[in-house]
C-alpha cells in the first residue's frame, strides 16, 4: 500500500492519496492510517483525501469515507474528498450522504 509523506506543518492542505483498492479486507488498515493522518494535523490544516488511480472501489470506499469524515468532525479538522470515482459518488447519492460528505469527482467540482 502506498503511504503518503508525513504532514508538513507549513502546508494548510495535506494530501492523502488512495491509490490502492479499498475493500473490506484492507478497510481497517486504511482507516487506522487515515485517522493517524488526521490526528497528526496541526491547527489550521485540513486533510484532502485523493482517490488517485483507485482501481477497486465501492461500498467499502464509502465506509472508509464515512469513518474518515467522522474522525475529522470529532477532532475539529476539515476533511474533503477529491477525484472520487463516479461509481462511489453514485453510492453516496443513493445512500443519501451527498449532503454530508464533501466529495468531488472527475466531472464534479469540490463541495
Q: What angle do CA 48, 5, 18 make, to 5 degrees?
A: 50
Per-residue pLDDT for the chain (111 aa), expressed as one digit of tens each? 333 444 444 457 787 877 678 888 889 998 999 999 999 998 888 998 888 767 667 899 999 999 999 999 999 999 998 888 888 889 999 999 988 898 887 655 544
pTM score of the predicted model = 0.79
Taking CA atoms, 84 is separated from 41, 56, 72, 102, in Å, by 22, 12, 18, 10
Amino acid at each position: 500500500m502506498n503511504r503518503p509523506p508525513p504532514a508538513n506543518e507549513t502546508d494548510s492542505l495535506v494530501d492523502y492519496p488512495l491509490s490502492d483498492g479499498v475493500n473490506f479486507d484492507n478497510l481497517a488498515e486504511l482507516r487506522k492510517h487515515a485517522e493517524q493522518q488526521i490526528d497528526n494535523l496541526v491547527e489550521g490544516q485540513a486533510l484532502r483525501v485523493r482517490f488517485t488511480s483507485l482501481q477497486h472501489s465501492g461500498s467499502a470506499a464509502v465506509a472508509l469515507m464515512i469513518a474518515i469524515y467522522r474522525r475529522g468532525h470529532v477532532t475539529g479538522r476539515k476533511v474533503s474528498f477529491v477525484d472520487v470515482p463516479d461509481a462511489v459518488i453514485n453510492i453516496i447519492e443513493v445512500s443519501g450522504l451527498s449532503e454530508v460528505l464533501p466529495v468531488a469527482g472527475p466531472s464534479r467540482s469540490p463541495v
